Chains A and B, each alone.
Chain A
Amino acid sequence: MRWPLIAAWTSAALAAAAVAAALVLHGIDPDPQDSALAIVAEAALAAPALVAGVAIARGRPRNPLGAIVAVIGLLPAADAFLGAWASAAAAGEVAGAGWAVLLFQEDWIVVFGALALLLLLFPDGRPISRRWRGAVVLAIAGTLATAGAALVRDDVFDAPYASVPPPLGLVSGTAADVLTGVALLSLIAALGLAAVSTILRFRRSRGVERTQMKWLAAGAALLPVAIVAGTVDGLVNDEPTLITLIPFVAAYVALVAAVVVAMLRHGLYDVDRVISRTIAWGALTLALAAGAVGLALLVADPLGGGSTAGAAVAAVAAAVAFDPLRRRLQRVVDRRFDRDRVRAVERIEAFAALIHTGEAAPEGIEGLLREALGDPGLRLLVWLPGEGAYAGLDGGVAAAPSPGPGTAVTAVGRGDAPLALVVHDPRLDERPALLADVLRAAALPVEVARLRDELRHRLEEVEESRARIVRAGDEERRRLERDLHDGAQQRLVALGMALRRVQRRVAGDPEAARALDGAVDEVAEAVRDLREIARGLRPGMLDDGLGPALADLARRTPLAVDVEAPADRAPAEIETAAYYVVSEALANAVKHAEATRVSVTARRHDGRLVVRVEDDGRGGAVPEPAGGLAGLADRIAAHGGRMELESRPGEGTRLEVELPCGS
């Protein structure tokens, strides 16, 4: 067993023994100073810290905080025992009256030492830096010095033990006061350093440690209430009453509970919400109390001084008057103490409003979530039903993410059909309210971004399939062209040659020879026809490059056509597309435009092939939905290009096409 666990268990055992001994001493004491109930009450007060100390020490056996908390729990039990001993010893029933009274009166010192150590070492059991070890030493030394100074003084004890002589009484007068003063100052300095250390640790903390620090703050939030209540009680009553006791006990229990939660179960509840609720509750309680007191003075007086009915009316009136304030107060406190959640939700809502007015692109939601949740590695994956997969907003389809070490996954939207998944730092799971509220606020922007992403994916698919169809069409034309050349055309030529050989055999028959001449001419004509058909399918000249193909095309056009084409080659499918553009434009110039001259220029520019066909015809060309130009536009779009037609009546027609060349 580690020493903190041993110390915690030892404290628990000692506390049990102390309570038992106190009850025994109370039994033999003829005139006990405290009632048995008071002893039981002190034992009850000891229990939470003892249980907490042991629990912490079991959960974190190397961390001294378990032992420190357990010692805090030991004190009430020890105090009960020392009180009972002092009383019994003063009555002469047992020995050691001097020591008993001395220890009974000075045992409070240990509480402050333990508190200073708790603050200095919370939550990891180490001071915030090596230099702060000095503060730990000071806390221990200050406690020991203060206790030591108290032990050696020769002061007369408080009532009812004024007659009991101090057991040592070594130092007196000014020397005693200086000794006590120096010792106390060091203890107070240690407490001050502990407070500073806590603030520094809070500022520097991140992730789990920050959550733990917030739990400590939540536990400590009731202390101001207790202090105010105690002060008021001190002003009103001579002896401390329940007004002091209940808030202090509540604050003490809350602090101990908060330390346990922070140490062992910090991820269980949303600490920010706990803090803001606690503070709102505390502030409301104080306000209600103040209101009730004020009203009681106003209402009760005319009703005849201090009547129960007057007090009751005042309390109800105060509650009614202050109830509407509760929501406001809660919101204000939320804003103050749960700032990042409120601010994060507000930012997301402002962003959603910008999307609504078209001032922001919904894809920005991922970056905004990263900032709002403080997780730069956060990724938003939207569900694309068409793909049956998740995809990032940057376009890449992603495998369904699974939580693992270093990543957690939270769904956005409805249960079984989530809109999107957020892959984030698992530490965000410790703030479920922040995550839930932010994601709820982000649902609309995420949905819009998702729809746009889906649309984009669908469009890409359609574009790809269109390009594939065009490619397949080109491929098919090429295949047909080959088949014509290698099949039918070859057979026809072979047939013609066979006829020529027959012709030689019938050289003596002029009529047969003439008939065969005619047949061979027919065959030759058929071969030429086939060649034209094949050229229509796909011009073989394209194998030689766009320039020769365009020149050949120009030669076959019954118009004056000027051709300018680049000498370097573009990808075959781009050259083919450019060729068809010029072919269609020339056909239109011949058929519709009554043009006399056409200029064709193809230029490479910035990785694009720019083809321009201009004629001097009558203009006014309009692309028809099913016409050749519309078909061209589809083909060009399939290659990611762009087409522009300018054809004002009387001013000729200009067709310009840009095709990406990839280089």
Chain B
Amino acid sequence: MRIVIGEDSTLFREGLVLLLRDAGHEVVAAVGDADALEAAVAREAPDIAIADIRMPPGDEDAGARAAARIRRDHPDVAVMLLSQHVETRHSLDLVAAGGFGYLLKDRVLDVDDFLDALRRVAGGGSALDPEVVAALVGPRRDDPLDVLTPREREVLGLMAEGRTNAGIANRLWLTDRTVETHVSSILGKLGIAGSEEDHRRVLAVLAHLRAST
């Protein structure tokens, strides 16, 4: 994959560049602020852009806003947004649209999982950090998820993270077939129209969760 990185912490940026190159990817640009990131994306037309939420200029959420613009102006470029702690306000709309991921930075340390998520997002799928999913799937008043069994909740969480049925099966030490059964049961109980495409499924799940928040 051809990758552009926007990250203001030099230490983290250089580490990421090396890690991605070791994994055989081509890092075509690694820059330290949101404006340079957008320029690099426009210039290089990469497969995916990795962006820190907090970046100059402004140091607040320039990275997140740049990510939204990239998704709008360059639909072919997928975006993986990273942050130090969970921030939900920017990520949910973008995740639901596909070609977008949002992870905490330390997920990078689980290298294989991280690379898998990158691949998924670059392929038009989604990736949503388990912390964010937990915030969405957590207990609430009149919890619509009360109808699910604990195992179904678990599966739903992994669906919301953007994982494929195979990925979920792998995670939970289940067979693909069992996962399929759980998924159709969940979609049935929540009244969500099923879909073959994974990211559409994520979209439906997220839309459902947010609507009931």
- Which residues of A line the B interface, CB within 8 A? 485-486, 489-494, 496-498, 500-501, 504, 520, 523-524, 527-528, 531, 534-535, 540-541, 543-545, 548, 551-552, 554-555, 560-564, 599
Stretch from B14-22, B156-164, B183-191 at the A interface: B14-22
- Listed by A's residue number, 17 A-B pairs whose Cβ atoms lie within 8 Å are A485-B85, A490-B12, A490-B84, A493-B15, A494-B9, A497-B19, A501-B15, A501-B22, A504-B22, A540-B85, A540-B86, A540-B87, A543-B89, A544-B88, A548-B89, A560-B139, A562-B140
A541 and B87 within 8 A (CB): yes
A541 and B86 within 8 A (CB): yes
- Closest approach, in angstroms, between the C-beta of A661 and any C-beta of chain B? 20
Main secondary structure, interface of A, reads helix
| Given A501-B22, A543-B89, A560-B139, A494 and B15 contact (CB-CB distance below 8 Å) | yes
- The residue of chain A having its C-beta at the shortest distance from the C-beta of B213 within the complex is A551
B105 and A552 within 8 A (CB): no
C-alpha spacing A545/B89, complex, angstroms: 9
B84 and A551 within 8 A (CB): no
B109 and A520 within 8 A (CB): yes
Chain B residues near A531 (CB-CB < 8 A): 84-85, 104
B109 and A543 within 8 A (CB): no
**Within the complex, which residue of B85, B86, B106 is in contact with A496, where a contact is CB–CB below 8 Å?**
B106
Q: Is the C-beta of B166 less than 8 angstroms from some C-beta in chain A?
A: no
**Within the complex, which residue of A493, A551, A555 is in contact with B108, where a contact is CB–CB below 8 Å?**
A493
Chain B residues near A500 (CB-CB < 8 A): 19, 109, 111
B15 and A548 within 8 A (CB): no
C-alpha spacing A390/B7, complex, angstroms: 57
Count of B interface residues, CB-CB < 8 Å: 30
A489 and B84 within 8 A (CB): yes
Interface set, chain B 95-131, CB cutoff 8 A to A: 104-106, 108-111
Q: Is the C-beta of B42 less than 8 angstroms from some C-beta in chain A?
A: no
B84 and A554 within 8 A (CB): no
- Closest approach, in angstroms, between the C-beta of B174 and any C-beta of chain A? 24
Q: Is the C-beta of B141 less than 8 angstroms from some C-beta in chain A?
A: yes
B18 and A543 within 8 A (CB): no
- The residue of chain B having its C-beta at the shortest distance from the C-beta of A601 within the complex is B141
A551 and B11 within 8 A (CB): no
Chain B residues near A552 (CB-CB < 8 A): 86, 135, 138
- Closest approach, in angstroms, between the C-beta of B68 and any C-beta of chain A? 16
- The residue of chain B having its C-beta at the shortest distance from the C-beta of A600 within the complex is B141
**Within the complex, which residue of B15, B84, B87, B141 is in contact with A544, where a contact is CB–CB below 8 Å?**
B87
C-alpha spacing A548/B140, complex, angstroms: 12
- Closest approach, in angstroms, between the C-beta of B94 and any C-beta of chain A? 15
Q: Is the C-beta of B193 less than 8 angstroms from some C-beta in chain A?
A: no
Chain A residues near B1 (CB-CB < 8 A): none
A528 and B106 within 8 A (CB): yes
- Which residues of B line the A interface, CB within 8 A? 9, 11-12, 14-16, 18-19, 22, 54, 84-89, 104-106, 108-111, 134-135, 138-141, 213
Chain B residues near A493 (CB-CB < 8 A): 12, 15, 105-106, 108-109
- Closest approach, in angstroms, between the C-beta of B170 and any C-beta of chain A? 18
A561 and B139 within 8 A (CB): yes
Closest 7 CB pairs of A and B: A555-B138, A562-B141, A497-B15, A485-B84, A494-B11, A496-B109, A540-B85
Chain B residues near A540 (CB-CB < 8 A): 84-87
| Given A490-B105, A493-B108, A548 and B135 contact (CB-CB distance below 8 Å) | yes
C-alpha spacing A554/B86, complex, angstroms: 15
- The residue of chain B having its C-beta at the shortest distance from the C-beta of A481 within the complex is B85
C-alpha spacing A531/B85, complex, angstroms: 7
- Closest approach, in angstroms, between the C-beta of B81 and any C-beta of chain A? 14
Given contacts A497-B109, A545-B89, A548-B88, 15 further A-B contacts (CB under 8 A): A490-B9, A490-B11, A497-B12, A497-B108, A527-B109, A531-B84, A540-B84, A540-B87, A541-B88, A544-B88, A551-B138, A552-B86, A552-B135, A555-B139, A562-B141
- The residue of chain B having its C-beta at the shortest distance from the C-beta of A559 within the complex is B139
- Closest approach, in angstroms, between the C-beta of A574 and any C-beta of chain B? 18
- Closest approach, in angstroms, between the C-beta of B160 and any C-beta of chain A? 14
C-alpha spacing A486/B52, complex, angstroms: 11
- Closest approach, in angstroms, between the C-beta of B110 and any C-beta of chain A? 8
- The residue of chain A having its C-beta at the shortest distance from the C-beta of B142 within the complex is A562
Chain A residues near B105 (CB-CB < 8 A): 489-490, 493, 527
A564 and B141 within 8 A (CB): yes
C-alpha spacing A486/B175, complex, angstroms: 41
- Closest approach, in angstroms, between the C-beta of A256 and any C-beta of chain B? 88
C-alpha spacing A32/B138, complex, angstroms: 133
B84 and A501 within 8 A (CB): no
Chain A residues near B141 (CB-CB < 8 A): 562-564, 599
B16 and A554 within 8 A (CB): no
A524 and B22 within 8 A (CB): no
**Within the complex, which residue of A524, A545, A561 is in contact with B106, where a contact is CB–CB below 8 Å?**
A524
B11, B22, B134 interface centre (most CB from chain A within 10 Å) = B11
- Closest approach, in angstroms, between the C-beta of B180 and any C-beta of chain A? 29
A554 and B88 within 8 A (CB): no
- The residue of chain A having its C-beta at the shortest distance from the C-beta of B134 within the complex is A555
Chain B residues near A548 (CB-CB < 8 A): 88-89, 135
C-alpha spacing A562/B140, complex, angstroms: 5
- The residue of chain A having its C-beta at the shortest distance from the C-beta of B104 within the complex is A531
C-alpha spacing A534/B83, complex, angstroms: 14
